[in-house]
Structure formats: structure tokens, C-alpha cells
Amino acid sequence: MALLIVAWVAIVFSKGGTDGDFPEARYRLTLPKTLLGGEYEMEQDFSDSPQDSFEQHAESALGGRDIRAAVAIYTPADRGGQLNVSGMYGRFKDADDARDTMLKDAADPDGISVARAPEDFRPSGSDVTVTCQVVAKADLNMRVIMPLCAWNDGNTGALIGEIDPAVSSGDAKDVDLAGLAERTLRIRAELRQPIS
């Protein structure tokens, strides 16, 4: 399931634009060893993996410039499951389109389908829209669901996917997407740092 989070990078769309169409780079993403007050601990950091393909595809697919990847898997400290962070930072011409494309392409690989359509959330005090959906994968006569939330603010963007055993075998309509959007904003606050 972790691979589906980054599967969208293989889909390439041609999007151009002059340099003046892109925002100034003011923020980047970091990958701390823990997230959400120690609730999650990093299991694997893909920062040292070859990222050229990821970054080139992200630039083309998401209409970005100067893209750098921030991709990691986190595991809960006290229960089963997994939190996947597929992030990137740079300069994105159209933040809303980039966010929507991330979610659309996450449901594109064979065997993955949208179990609950994307919904936009902008919790009180937020400066960015978070869009969440639920995807499903059928495997060995089992259907597993996973919620995905994404943001893009023009400088940073990420697709956050959480595999929770308490949720994965349930009904997509019962997933608390509003709560996950707020949780995604908390994760964003921990990952996003000003460029010094």
C-alpha cells in the first residue's frame, strides 16, 4: 500500500509557464524523526534514495519548478498501521490544480479505485485548503480502504496516507475526513519550515 502513495509520480502531464508565473520559494519540507507529539516514529526516510525521476515527474505532472522530494514512512509508536508522507517543495504555478492532481493520480494505478469522492476542507484559522478522499484496493478477495489527504500552498505540497487497521476494513462513508484534514494540517505544521 505504501507504493500507491507515490505511484502518481509516474503519470506525466505537460504543463509549462514562464518563471514569473511561479511563486517565490519561501518554505521547504523537513522530515522529523517523530510526528504529532511522538505518536508516529519514522520507519524509513527515502531522502537518500535517487530522487531525480520523482522530482522530474512531479515538476511535469504538477506544474512545478525546482522541486525537491520529502518522502518517508512513519509507524505508530503504540499500535499497528502506517503513515505515508509523499511530500515535495519548490514552486508550484497552480497550487489548487497540483493538489487535485496528486489525489487524482493516487487513484490511477491498476487495482486502486476511489471509494469516496474528494472533499475540500479549510478548518478555522487555516491558510490552505486540504482535500481528502478514500481509495480502495481489492487484493486476494479482500477490500482495503485508505484515506488520503493532500495540500499544496504554492511552495510545499504533500499527499498523506494513513493505513489504520481499525479503518482499513470498514466503510468509506464512515471515515472522518474532516478530522483527518485537521490532522493533516498538524502534520504540515511540523514538516513545513521557512527557507533561511
Write out pLDDT tens, residues 169-178: 999 999 999 9
Highest mean pLDDT among 52-56, 61-65, 74-78: 74-78
Report the C-alpha gap between 96 and 151 in whole angstroms: 8
Domain boundaries, the chain: 2-10+41-194
Q: Structure pTM? A: 0.86
The domain defined by 2-10+41-194 carries CATH number 3.40.50:
no
Mean pLDDT of 102-129: 91
Mean pLDDT of 144-166: 95
Mean pLDDT of 103-108: 88
pLDDT value of position 61? 82
Mean pLDDT of 142-166: 95
Strand partners, 44: 73
Report the C-alpha gap between 133 and 50 in whole angstroms: 29
